Structure 1
Amino acid sequence: MNLLPTAPVARVAPVNLLIVDDVPQNLVAMEALLRRDGVNLLLAQSGAQALELLLEHEVALALLDVHMPEIDGFSLAELMRGSQRSRDVPIIFLTASPNDPVRAFKGYESGAVDFLHKPVEPQVILSKVNVFIELYQQKQLLKARNEELERAIKLNETMTAVLTHDLRTPLSAILLCTDKLSFDLPEDSGAQQTLVHLETSTLRMARMVEQLLDFSRIRTGGLRLQLERCDAGKVVASVVEEAGRANPDANIHYEQYGDVRLHGDADRLGQIVSNLVGNAVVHGGKQGVQVQLDGTTAERVVLQVRNAGQIDPALMPRLFEPFKASFHASKGLGLGLYIADQFVAAHGGTLQARNEDDGVVFEACLPRRVA
């Protein structure tokens, strides 16, 4: 049995055509020619009536007679172009006057897509109307699909946020149980090594959950910075020390210059450093990672993270995109650099990467104060 909800069947709404002519016989003739299923004809004998209909209905095409009392076709077209609701409605002018290039130019200048002379061949007007009906229907279909896609994306991001939020509780329970078991078991037992692997995997999963939460906040506009005066040097030093403990084989060297105090969110700054240093450790940690924080200029603080290796030039334009193909797919979700870039941007700064002769450099420029 299929328990999944089925997609609703799309209903095609009638297409509205506006026909404006001060001669009733002409309206009757056009109505007889264009009436069919799926087409709703809006008939007006003056420009004022036409404007009232445009306020009530969305129109796919307007057929305007040029010669009308009070408001002629050209004036009506200009009024339509001045309204947000009707400015994009295609207009075909109909006139009984002889072919006059000056009048035709005025018609096109008023926003017409075509200029026809009466008597109009029925097949000519039918073919032109059919083209605009089809274009309008395709536009509406595309609009509906875009709205459906936006709803699906928003729902997916909401579900991701809910799921990742709920996953943190069992992960915390696993870590607590791991710590307790490590105290109860002898240090030289084989079970201790198993617990180490379990704790490492759980911490890695917890980092993925946090990345998904950050990703969801960024995409849904839920990211908020807790701005305060903070010492970026202490933040970076703490992250580098933590990365060194977690990766004892990596050679991480940290240098600091000048005044590195700034106005920012210390937790988000820590995540920026953690993601950049973590990325450098993965791709060149054994050859050495250099972290440098430069506060020698008055306007900004510059963080540089350097590691051995080179970034594929083909990947460089997509380096800060989410879920991109990464160098080591097993190391994460491909969100670390994206999140770092978004957090730097939220602080009003820029994050760039470049290849140099001796390795890869990621450089984050952070203003002293967030605008």
Structure 2
Amino acid sequence: MKTINLLIIDDKQENIIALEALIKRSDINIISTTSPNDALRICWEKDIAIALVDVQMPKMNGFELVEILKNNVRTKDIMVIFVTAISTEAKYAIKGLNAGAVDYLYKPLDPYITSAKVDAFIQLVRTQREIKKKNEQLEKIQHDLIKAKEDAEQGKRAKENFMANMSHEIRTPINGIIGLLHLLKQSSLDESQLEIVNLIDVSSSSLLGVINDILDLSKIEAGKFKISLAKTNIYDIVTQAANLLSVKAKEKNIALNLDIDPQLPKIIMADSLRLSQIFMNLLSNAIKFTNQGEVTFKIEVPEKNNNLVHIKFIISDTGIGISKENIDTIFNTFEQADNISTKVYEGTGLGLSIVKKLIELKGGSLEVSSELGKGSTFIFSKWYKFVDDNESEKTEQEPQTLQKFDGLKILIAEDNSINVFLIVKILNNWNIETHVVTNGQEAIDALAQDQFDLILMDTYMPVMNGLEAIKKIREGYAPGKETIPIITFSAGVLDSDNETAYKAGANDIIGKPFKVNVLHEKIAKLTQKN
């Protein structure tokens, strides 16, 4: 136990000796002096917890000494007990307490009372110091927590900024590829050319899916991921996945078999993009780890109930398999089954982690069975709502030709030349007159000088980005044009990207890559032209 410094101040040495004899104990370090001035020095230099101060002393009495101690920040917390032989009248006690003392001891000293009081105050000092120590620890913990929170928020902002920039930089050129393929499909192509274009289209969507894997993983971990249900042709989803990956299978001289239960409904309510991600990841994994034999993609319908159907998607292979001790690790982010397979088979280790998270979010289940050297089987099963045959036929009808926008004039603010070519080509096909600028400042200048029915504004541009330009337009930098409809193009995938755009003043948002019919619908809605 740490000793406590106790100071005795009395102008008579015999009184000091008597007090020392009464209170001497192992956990107290007694310091004494007959001089008030020397006492002040000791209190300044040493950590004095308790001071026993005689009231009547020459040159400086006890009241004056205590007043000096209490007015100094360094010594104000010392517990002072007056030791006095003067009258026990209340006025003297009040004077001492007002000066800052905590108690009185009256001469001649009662040894039991003196010892008891000193013990009590020593215990009080220890308690106060322990509380002070705990408070300092709590303050440090609080400071550390605040700093950790600030660091985490800064890291989160940096991560979101990185994701937004990466999304824009990668998804923008993919938007150009997919858009150009859309235009190419509308030209005269023979059957083999159309097949190649369709494969490029599926490959582009697959590449987009890989990018989305990384972005989706962050969104899932942040609890910001959403499943969007819509009418989905499940036959198209599974056959596209199998057709696309059949090229990889052929390169490895292995068979890729597709076996669809005839009881499978054609149209189900599902998130087609996420289903495609799941199938592409599982099939790609199976082909990657199979060097001979085959991969089988089997779809079973164990049960139907009213408008609900239980579907099992079974992907099995004759590949290297997974050992029992490693089977639980394959769903960990950035991990493969073991170090050897990581060296032999390249990959991010993201696929199965995302598949498991997506399936859990969709309310499904994922089972895996495997034997080392003999292959693996993954079974994804879920109940889906399905659409009857009449509604299926309506869903699969060819879309009507998109109507023209005669007399419409649109300002396009976009710095990517491929996207400019794509958007202008699409809009011109709808009889829309276009004017192109490459940054936000040029957009404001063009708007101030000419009349437009609508602005298509890219989010990320040099000189002035799209969001800054929208804010300035809404603030009146192009007088009289504050309410012009504005659609922003965004390659961002975070909900906060959309919130930021709406807050800046955008009327609507269209993502990159975009669907042509969605762009047509948004333009029609904002310009009230059908």
Normalised to the residue count of structure 2, the TM-score between the two structures is 0.39
Query: What is the aligned partner in structure 1 of residue 171 from structure 2?
Result: 168
% identical equivalent positions = 18
Contact in 1 for aligned 2:209/2:277 (Cα 8 Å) = no
- Deviation, structure 1 residue 320: 2.1
User: Does the Cα contact within 8 Å between 1:320 and 1:338 map onto a contact in 2?
Assistant: yes
1:230 to 198, 211, 232: 232
| Counterpart among 337, 354, 360 of residue 345 in structure 1 | 360
SS in 2 for 1:354: strand
Q: Is the 8 A contact 2:365 2:381 kept in 1?
A: yes
- CA distances 1:216-261 after superposition (whole Å, capped 9, x unpaired): 3333444332312434344222211211034423321122236334
- What is the aligned partner in structure 2 of residue 140 from structure 1? 142
Q: Which amino acid aligns with 1:349?
A: G
Give the equivalent residue in structure 2 for 1:278: 284
Q: How does 1:185-200 map to 2 (within 5 A)?
A: none
Go from structure 1 to structure 2 and tell me whether the alpha carbon gap of 1:172 and 1:314 turns closer, same or farther (over 3 Å shift). Answer: farther
Corresponding residue to 2:335 among 324, 327, 333: 324
What is the SS of the residue equivalent to 2:250?
coil
Return the letter of the residue paired with 2:286. Answer: A
How far 1:203 sits from its partner (Å)?
9.1
Amino acid at match of 1:266: S
- Matched residue, 1:364: 380
Mean Cα displacement is larger for which, 268-277 or 253-262? 253-262
Task: Give the structure 2 partner of residue 245 of structure 1.
Answer: 247
Alpha-carbon shift at residue 264 of structure 1 (Å): 1.2
Change (3 A) 1:209 1:131: same
> Residue 224 of structure 1 aligns to a residue in which SS?
coil
**Structure 1: distance between partners of 2:174 and 2:349:** 21
| CA distance in structure 1 between the aligned counterparts of 2:323 and 2:151, rounded to whole angstroms | 33
Q: 1:303 aligns with which of 294, 297, 313?
A: 313
- Per-residue displacement from partner, 1:265-319 (whole Å, max 9, x unpaired)? 1221111101100111111153321222121223631212112222244543332
Q: Distance in 2 between matches of 1:348 and 1:36?
A: 65
Task: Name the CA distance, whole Å, in 2 between partners of 1:135 and 1:295.
Answer: 62
Matched-pair contact (CA < 8 Å) for 1:325–1:334:
yes
Query: For 1:1-371, what aligned pairs fall within 5 Å after superposition?
Result: 121-166=123-168, 167-170=170-173, 208-249=210-251, 250-257=254-261, 259-261=263-265, 262-284=268-290, 286-298=292-304, 300-307=310-317, 308-325=319-336, 327-328=341-342, 331-356=346-371, 358-369=374-385
Pair 204,267 (structure 1): closer, same or farther in 2 beyond 3 Å: closer
> What SS class does the counterpart of residue 261 from structure 2 fall into?
strand
- CA 1:238–1:170: 2 relative to 1, 3 Å: closer
Secondary structure of the corresponding residue to residue 332 of structure 1: coil
- 3-state DSSP of counterpart to 1:297: strand
User: Considering only aligned residues, what root-mean-square deviation do their CA atoms show, in Å?
Assistant: 4.1
Structure 2: 5+ residue runs without aligned partners? 1-69, 78-118, 181-202, 387-530
Q: 1:350, 1:311 → 2: CA distance?
A: 20
Cα gap change, 1:172 to 1:227, in 2 (>3 Å): closer
1:303 alignment partner AA: F
Cα distance in 2 between the residues matched to 1:231 and 1:319: 30
Write the letter of the residue equivalent to 2:347. Answer: G
Could you tell me how far apart the structure 2 residues matched to 1:164 and 1:247 are?
31
Q: 1:271 to 1:205 in 2, by over 3 A?
A: closer
Rounded Cα–Cα distance in structure 2 between residues aligned with 1:203 and 1:267: 9
Separation of aligned partners in 1, 2:284 and 2:207: 15
In structure 1, the gaps of 5 or more residues are: 1-31, 40-116, 178-200
Q: The residue matched to 2:241 in structure 1 has which SS? A: helix
Give the counterpart letter for 2:270 in structure 1.
G
Q: CA separation of 1:175/1:359 partners in 2, compared to 1, >3 Å: closer, same or farther?
A: same
| 8 Å Cα contact 2:323-2:370 kept in structure 1 | no
**Taking structure 1 as the reference length, what is the TM-score of the superposition?**
0.53
- Contact 1:349–1:366 (CA under 8 A) maintained in structure 2: yes
CA displacement 1:340-366 (0-9 Å, x = unmatched): 122212211122323247421222122
State the Cα distance separating 1:174 from its structure 2 match. 7.9
Q: Which has the larger radius of gyration?
A: 2
Task: Tell me: CA distance 1:135–1:227, structure 2 relative to 1, closer, same or farther (3 Å).
Answer: same
Cα separation, 2, equivalents of 1:36 and 1:369: 76
Q: Distance in 1 between matches of 2:147 and 2:335?
A: 25
Distance 1:231 1:205, change over 3 A: closer
For residues 273 and 331 of structure 1, the distance between their equivalents in structure 2, rounded to whole angstroms, comes to: 19
